[in-house]
């Protein structure tokens, strides 16, 4: 589905310090909204900018700004969760480099050099990564205090316990 607006040549984009900006409607992010509550026709603003340093390392910085409608797992109300992405990708030349020091949390994210890098896919991936595993209000707007404490306890015990899963496997 990616139109030309989303395709870029990583070499020229970084070499010429280009910037690209756009808006993306929620409904286009099919993978990101899959399984979520109905969205509100909101739009995500995004920008990508390229750079190259004196040692010829190339970078693409991707920013996305918007919100996603999620259902709070505590009070079951829908709420707008801010989605803010600011990620710097290093452009690498080989697949091997992509996987290098994968476990290093300090390492930058990487993308493979390409004449047709698909920004759309990158934006969608980053939006998905920005969503919480268990959506919850910081504090639910309409929940009596006593109930919210109780619910909190339920949520704690509902967390998947790896040993419990093992136990089940052994029994079957
Ligand atoms: Zn809530």
Task: Quick: pLDDT tens for 18-76.
Answer: 999 999 999 999 999 999 999 999 999 999 999 999 999 999 999 999 999 999 999 99
Distance 41 CA to ligand 1 centre (A): 22
Q: Higher-confidence residue: 76 or 148?
A: 76
| Alpha-carbon torsion (4, 21, 28, 93), positive or negative | positive
Q: Which pLDDT does position 172 carry in this prediction?
A: 44
Q: How far is the CA of 129 from the centre of ligand 1 (A)?
A: 21
Contacts of 76 (CB under 8 A, 6+ apart): none
Query: What per-residue confidence (pLDDT) applies to 90?
Result: 96
CA 143 to ligand 1 centroid distance, Å: 8
CA distances to 31, 33, 35, 70, 124 from 38, rounded to whole Å, are 14, 8, 9, 9, 18
How many Å lie between the centroid of ligand 1 and the Cα of residue 44? Answer: 23
Query: What distance in angstroms lies between residue 79's CA and the mean position of ligand 1's atoms?
Result: 8
pLDDT confidence bin for 133, thresholds 50/70/90: very high
Ligand 1 centre to CA of 61 (Å) is: 33
How far is ligand 1, taken at its centre, from the CA of residue 37, in Å? Answer: 14
How high is the pLDDT of residue 154? 56
CA 131 to ligand 1 center in whole angstroms: 16
Name the helix (H) or strand (E) containing 84.
strand 78-92
pLDDT of residue 26: 97
Residue 128, pLDDT > 60, answer yes
Residue 96 C-alpha to ligand 1 middle, in angstroms? 44
Measured from the Cβ of residue 23, the count of other Cβ atoms closer than 10 Å reads 9
148 Cα–ligand 1 center, Å: 9
Among the ranges given (42-46, 57-61, 129-133, 157-161), the one the predictor scored with the smallest mean pLDDT: 157-161
- Quick check: helix, strand or coil at residue 134? coil
Read off the pTM.
0.79
């Amino acid at each position: 589905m990616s139109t030309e607006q989303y395709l870029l040549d990583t070499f020229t984009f970084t070499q010429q310090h280009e910037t690209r900006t756009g808006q993306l409607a929620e409904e286009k992010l099919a993978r990101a909204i899959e399984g979520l509550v109905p969205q509100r026709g909101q739009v995500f603003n995004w920008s990508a900018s390229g750079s190259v340093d004196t040692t010829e390392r190339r970078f693409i910085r991707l920013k996305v700004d918007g919100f996603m409608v999620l259902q709070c797992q505590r009070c079951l109300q829908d709420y707008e969760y801010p989605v803010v992405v600011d990620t710097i990708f290093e452009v690498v030349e080989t697949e091997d480099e992509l996987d290098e020091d994968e476990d290093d949390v300090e390492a930058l994210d990487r993308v493979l050099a390409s004449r047709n890098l698909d920004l759309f896919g990158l934006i969608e991936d980053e939006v998905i990564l920005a969503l919480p595993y268990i959506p919850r209000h910081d504090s639910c707007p309409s929940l009596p205090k006593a109930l919210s404490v109780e619910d909190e306890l339920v949520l704690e015990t509902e967390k998947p316990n790896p040993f419990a899963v093992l136990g089940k496997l052994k029994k079957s």
